[in-house]
Amino acid sequence: MNLTGKTVRIVGMRRLHNEVLAEFIRSRLGAECLLAPGIHGDPLPGTLLLLDCLGADRESLLCRLRQGPLFGSSGAFFALFNLDRNLDIAKEALAAGVRGLFFADDSADTLLKGISLLFAGEFWVPRRILSEYLLSRMVPSPPVLSVEMPQLTRREREVLGLLANGASNDQIGSRMCISTRTVKTHVYNIFRKIHVSSRLEAALWIARHV
């Protein structure tokens, strides 16, 4: 994926290491890469911030996640990299708005693939971790969501409830006695109305609104 015109800001104190990483991302993906020692100021909309977590302990990392205007209205998004798998911080990071998690033992190709998908509007988080986080944010409910969603029809709310619980289009169609094509139409309309572009984003939207 060519990311020419996109901006990645690498946040961390290890300048030499991060300069090498910036050049690698620039040469392989075409994105502009900037370095910053800390979280300061409002990043430009659409900027991906990569926060270097090498050597960080759990408490200091949680403190850093709460800093700055990263989760405000700037339109930027960010991910953690060089993350220790043993820190058990993924759910807190997702709750704070983190879109991606790159671990210290991930390969270079994994990093490039994840960055590309983040710019495509996806999340880069292990599926198990993301599923556990979503389930922890949801309360048991019937397929028709009880939260008020005046922009959605009753059938769309039912589809959204099933979708959020991981049902495929075929499973939703079987449950609601409608065709898969009709399910796809409902999903398209739901995404458009709640301003999301993927099932993961829709599930996170529900987690925030239920």
Same domain, 44 and 120: yes
What the block records as the tokens of 144 is 């028709």
> Considering 131, 151, 173, which residue would you say is the last residue of a domain?
131
Same domain, 71 and 24: yes
Q: Cα angle vertex 114, ends 164, 193, to 5°?
A: 35
Q: Is the same domain home to 39 and 127?
A: yes
Kindly report, residue by residue over 171-204, the tens digit of the pLDDT. 888 888 888 899 999 999 998 888 888 887 888 7
Residue 34 lies in a domain: yes
Report CA-CA distances (Å) from 88 to 26, 35, 67, 200, 207.
31, 27, 20, 21, 20
Average pLDDT, the chain: 83
Residue 142 predicted with pLDDT over 70: no
80 or 38, higher pLDDT: 80
Nearest C-alpha neighbor of 183 from the set 199, 201, 205: 199
What are the pLDDT digits (tens) for 64-115?
A: 776 544 444 457 888 999 999 898 888 888 888 888 999 999 999 999 999 9
pTM of the model: 0.64
Residues 125 and 146 in one domain: no
| Domain span including residue 57 | 7-131
In sequence order, the β-bridge partners of residue 7 are: 32
C-beta separation of 155 from 187 below 8 A: no
Task: List the CATH number of the domain containing 86.
Answer: 3.40.50.2300
16 assigned to some structural domain: yes
Residue 143 one-letter amino acid? P
pLDDT at 151 (0 to 100)? 81
